[in-house]
Chain A
Amino acid sequence: DIQMTQSPSSVSASVGDRVTITCRASQAISSWLAWYQQKPGKAPKVLIYAASILQSGVPSRFSGSGSGTDFTLTISSLQPEDFATYYCQQANSFPLTFGGGTKVEIK
């Protein structure tokens, strides 16, 4: 199985800050990566797929980059509605696997 490791596990930030979350795959997955946002008690929402393609309707302050084993999700200017937990997910091979999550908290 491909292991997905996210860092940090949590980050405290202020509104307007730039936030970067990293995801590392245990083996190369090309660009077969997505990022999801989940708020408490809610289902996840896809933000980015194919490592860098912004899902329709997602604000442009979210961006993704990377390929192979190392990936990054960047929020360019954190907004109040962005405080949530973020997960990466590989779709390169079965079983599909998620990272452990990164909780973005208010500083």
Chain B
Amino acid sequence: QVQLVESGGGVVQPGRSLRLSCAASGFTFSSYGMHWVRQAPGKGLEWVAGIWYDGSKKNYGESVKGRFTISRDDSKDTVYLQMNSLGAEDTAVYYCARDLVLAASSNWFDSWGQGTLVTVSS
């Protein structure tokens, strides 16, 4: 079955960088767009970034644009989120999620990982 496993979270100082990974299995990874969605403690969901199934397009939320970069390695069935210039406002559980539609971009999410917690604190 579809499985998404995030890793790379942890405690990081303000201004530093962190890279999250999401390893996929159980489906043809190269045929699906992938996204990152975050949730600050006790708060709602915020879409962070998305990458098309073929990697041709990337989109970002306003609060992370210019600081975060999404990428994918289809040879490793993995999507990444490089996060730079982190601030306290980036503290959240980060989920990776699969696009609902095969070989297209519906921008809805049908499978989610368990999440990885990023805490930005000195």
* Residue ranges of A at the interface with B (Cβ–Cβ < 8 Å): 1, 32, 34, 36, 38, 43-46, 49, 55, 87, 89, 91, 94-101
Residues of A close to B60: CB separation below 8 A: 95
Interface SS, A side: loop
Residues of A close to B35: CB separation below 8 A: 96
Q: Mark B43-65, 1 if CB is under 8 A from A, else 0.
A: 01111001000000001111000
Q: A49-B108, A96-B61 are in contact. List 15 more A-B contacts (CB 8 A).
A: A32-B107, A34-B109, A36-B45, A43-B115, A44-B112, A46-B100, A46-B108, A49-B106, A89-B47, A91-B106, A95-B47, A96-B50, A97-B47, A98-B47, A101-B44
For residue B80, CB closer than 8 A to chain A, the reply is no
Residues of B close to A96: CB separation below 8 A: 35, 47, 50, 59, 61, 107
In the complex the two chains form, is B45's CB within 8 Å of A44's CB? yes
Residues of B close to A101: CB separation below 8 A: 44-45
* Residue ranges of B at the interface with A (Cβ–Cβ < 8 Å): 35, 37, 44-47, 50, 59-62, 95, 100, 106-110, 112-115
Could you tell me the distance in whole angstroms from the C-beta of B69 to the nearest C-beta in chain A?
16
A97 to B45, CA, bound (A): 8
In the complex the two chains form, is A87's CB within 8 Å of B44's CB? yes
Residues of A close to B61: CB separation below 8 A: 95-96
Could you tell me the distance in whole angstroms from the C-beta of A106 to the nearest C-beta in chain B?
20
A96 to B110, CA, bound (A): 15
List 9 tightest A-B contacts by C-beta distance, closest first. A43-B112, A91-B107, A96-B47, A34-B108, A98-B45, A94-B59, A95-B61, A49-B108, A101-B44
**CB contact under 8 A between A95 and B45, given known A43-B115, A49-B108:** no
Residues of A close to B59: CB separation below 8 A: 94-96
Could you tell me the distance in whole angstroms from the C-beta of A73 to the nearest C-beta in chain B?
14
Could you tell me the distance in whole angstroms from the C-beta of A42 to the nearest C-beta in chain B?
8
Could you tell me the distance in whole angstroms from the C-beta of B70 to the nearest C-beta in chain A?
13
